Structure 1
Amino acid sequence: MTEQKKVSAIVVTYNRLDLLKQSIEALLNQEYKLSHIIVVDNNSENDTKEYLESLGDKIDYLRLPENIGGAGGFNKGIRYFMEETEDDYMWIMDDDTMAHPDSLKALMDYASTNDDFSFLSSKVLWKDGGLAKMNVMGYMNGRRIPDSETNVVQTRNATFVSLLVARDCVAKVGLPIVDFFIWGDDIEYTERLARIRPGYFVPASKVTHATKANVGSSLKSDSADRTPRYFYHYRNKMYYARQRGLYRKLRAEARPWLDYIDIFFSNTDNKKEKLAIIRKGVKAGFKFNPSVEFAQDKKNK
């Protein structure tokens, strides 16, 4: 009889205690039982700290001394997975990801039939049961995968909202880039993984992304208080665009300027600041060349 593969879940959190409680509860109730639940806390307030400490050995709790963003949190969590566990796969998610009881089982059912993959990604729904617009994935030809797709299909990239990754692939490609801070770290990382082994969308595995609203990321329509964070969006995009083939590289590099033109001729609020953040991000992106870290693999010590 084949031994069941072991899986670590990795959750990164920052000051969203109500959502975190729901997310962890869903992980504790998976039909396919987890070997470890690794929670990386980006230095949240004391209420989060007290709750996570109260869970005792139900979780592996990593509290960071400062907030280093989602990218830094996943970097630390994946390093812990590689250096402190011997599990076969890691299952990555944000603290507002609500796994369904069979989410992991559906991923592992597919993995049992085809282990030649770097990552598997779930179908991400919003709270109303429709697709989460922030997490719609694409076929290899770039066309978006519709809600009606029922087959497992290959994809170029995915988000850190229910992503299963093979341990040996982490050993080969390294960790997410801390310097990304937020935005695009998941796209860059999954594209890095997909260069060594295919990644797949598994629609039988479903999770709910409990964001406040079901909208994609848009500087044009986003609120003024969120404008500064789009610096990372444009800077990071310029970096990972350079890693792509010529056509996809040129298309990605053109995207900021299409956004710029759209905002310039729009009636959006805070227009001057939004245009400035695109220029600032793109300029920084040309010089942005962060290093990739690697973790020591406990299995190979």
Structure 2
Amino acid sequence: MDNQKKVSAVIVTYNRLELLKKSIDALLNQEYKLSHIIIVDNNSEEDTKNYLESLGDQINYLRLPENIGGAGGFNRGIRYFVEETEDDFLWIMDDDTIAHPDSLQAFMEYQQQQPNFSFLASKVLWKDGSLAKMNLMGYMNGRRIPDSENRVVETRNATFVSLLLARDVVVKIGLPIVDFFIWGDDIEYTERAARIRPGYFVPTSQVTHATKANVGSSLLEDSSDRTPRYFYHYRNKMYYARQRKMYRKLRAEVRPWLDYIRILFSNTENKKGKLAIIRKGVKAGLKFNPSVEYAQDKKSK
């Protein structure tokens, strides 16, 4: 038992208390016990603060003075993991991720067989048991991984909805980019990790992503009140596209303009605003060049 690998979990939350309670409860009841549960609170309302404080030493509570987005929250949580713990692995998730009792156990069983990985990603389900459309993953050739896939397969990137990272990889690649604020921070970060060692989809590790509806991200289909946040989608995509090799770089850079054409010839609400946000995001992305921060590894001190 003394040789068992230690794992920290990090959740970033912002004003979703009922989901957060379910997410934390699922972590406290994992078959493979966690060493640390790190909750990063992006300055939520008092009800969230009071609940998290009531958990005492069951969690490590980091309350931020302001909301710095999901990217900023994961930056702070991962820094805490590197600088304040000596755990071997980091398990990342959103506050609407509900882990199954054996989610972590499945990861840890696979890492015993194949320790040479940068990250492992769970199979992400929606509340009805179907694949969560927001978290669909792809094979290395770009084709979508279907629900029927039951093998561990290599993947280029993954979301922060149940992701296990090796400590030495985190130390080498640094932290998520705070300036992303929201959107694409997980794709950029996992692609950065996969340049060190391969990342894998592990279908035996399953979680539920408890979003309101099972839909992907689409500016065309999304409601007009959510249009402004797509600025980060297009700006950030232009940055991480530049880090890719030529074919995938060009494909990613063309995609915003395909979205533009589809919206231009559609009957979507707020068409003018949606077209403007694509132009604004792409233009900002051409000059967007944020720096990567690194944490001081507690194990190396």
TM bin, normalised by shorter chain, reads over 0.9
Which one-letter code corresponds to 2:264 in the other structure?
Answer: F
Which one-letter code corresponds to 2:184 in the other structure?
Answer: G
Partner of 1:34: 34
Partner of 1:243: 243
- Are residue 219 (structure 1) and residue 219 (structure 2) matched? yes
Structure 2 Cα separation of the partners of residues 55 and 190 of structure 1: 31
Structure 2 Cα separation of the partners of residues 240 and 113 of structure 1: 32
2:228 aligns to what SS in structure 1?
A: helix
Deviation at 1:118, TM superposition (A): 0.3
| 1:203-218 matches, cutoff 5 A | 203-218=203-218
- Are residue 151 (structure 1) and residue 141 (structure 2) matched? no
| 1:177-216 matches, cutoff 5 A | 177-216=177-216
Deviation at 1:286, TM superposition (A): 0.2
Runs ≥4 in structure 1, deviation > 2 angstroms?
none
- Are residue 101 (structure 1) and residue 98 (structure 2) matched? no
Which one-letter code corresponds to 1:16 in the other structure?
Answer: R
Structure 2 Cα separation of the partners of residues 273 and 136 of structure 1: 28
2:77 aligns to what SS in structure 1?
A: helix
Deviation at 1:273, TM superposition (A): 0.2
Deviation at 1:213, TM superposition (A): 0.3
Q: Unpaired segments of 5 or more residues in structure 1?
A: none
Structure 1 Cα separation of the partners of residues 164 and 231 of structure 2: 29
TM norm structure 1 = 0.99
Structure 2 Cα separation of the partners of residues 223 and 73 of structure 1: 26
Partner of 1:269: 269
Deviation at 1:2, TM superposition (A): 7.2
| 1:55-134 matches, cutoff 5 A | 55-134=55-134
Structure 2 Cα separation of the partners of residues 30 and 75 of structure 1: 24
Structure 1 Cα separation of the partners of residues 246 and 98 of structure 2: 37
Deviation at 1:31, TM superposition (A): 0.1
Which one-letter code corresponds to 1:268 in the other structure?
Answer: T
Partner of 1:3: 3
What value does the CA root-mean-square deviation take over the aligned residues? 0.6
Q: Deviations over 1:236-256 (max 9, x none)?
A: 000000000000000000000
Structure 2 Cα separation of the partners of residues 109 and 122 of structure 1: 13
* Total equivalences in the alignment: 301
Structure 1 Cα separation of the partners of residues 298 and 186 of structure 2: 24
Deviation at 1:157, TM superposition (A): 0.2
Structure 2 Cα separation of the partners of residues 109 and 152 of structure 1: 12
1:161 aligns to what SS in structure 2?
A: coil
Partner of 1:287: 287
Partner of 2:166: 166
Which one-letter code corresponds to 2:288 in the other structure?
Answer: F
Which one-letter code corresponds to 2:143 in the other structure?
Answer: R
Q: Percent same amino acid at aligned positions?
A: 83
Deviation at 1:160, TM superposition (A): 0.1
Q: Deviations over 1:197-216 (max 9, x none)?
A: 00000000000000000000
TM norm structure 2 = 0.99
Structure 2 Cα separation of the partners of residues 108 and 37 of structure 1: 17
Q: Unpaired segments of 5 or more residues in structure 2?
A: none
Partner of 2:299: 299
Structure 2 Cα separation of the partners of residues 119 and 141 of structure 1: 18
Partner of 1:54: 54
Which one-letter code corresponds to 1:289 in the other structure?
Answer: N
Which one-letter code corresponds to 2:152 in the other structure?
Answer: V
Partner of 1:255: 255
Which one-letter code corresponds to 1:204 in the other structure?
Answer: T
Structure 2 Cα separation of the partners of residues 292 and 199 of structure 1: 20
Structure 2 Cα separation of the partners of residues 146 and 55 of structure 1: 39
Structure 2 Cα separation of the partners of residues 12 and 201 of structure 1: 22
Deviation at 1:182, TM superposition (A): 0.1
Structure 2 Cα separation of the partners of residues 239 and 150 of structure 1: 33
2:24 aligns to what SS in structure 1?
A: helix
2:113 aligns to what SS in structure 1?
A: coil
1:112 aligns to what SS in structure 2?
A: helix
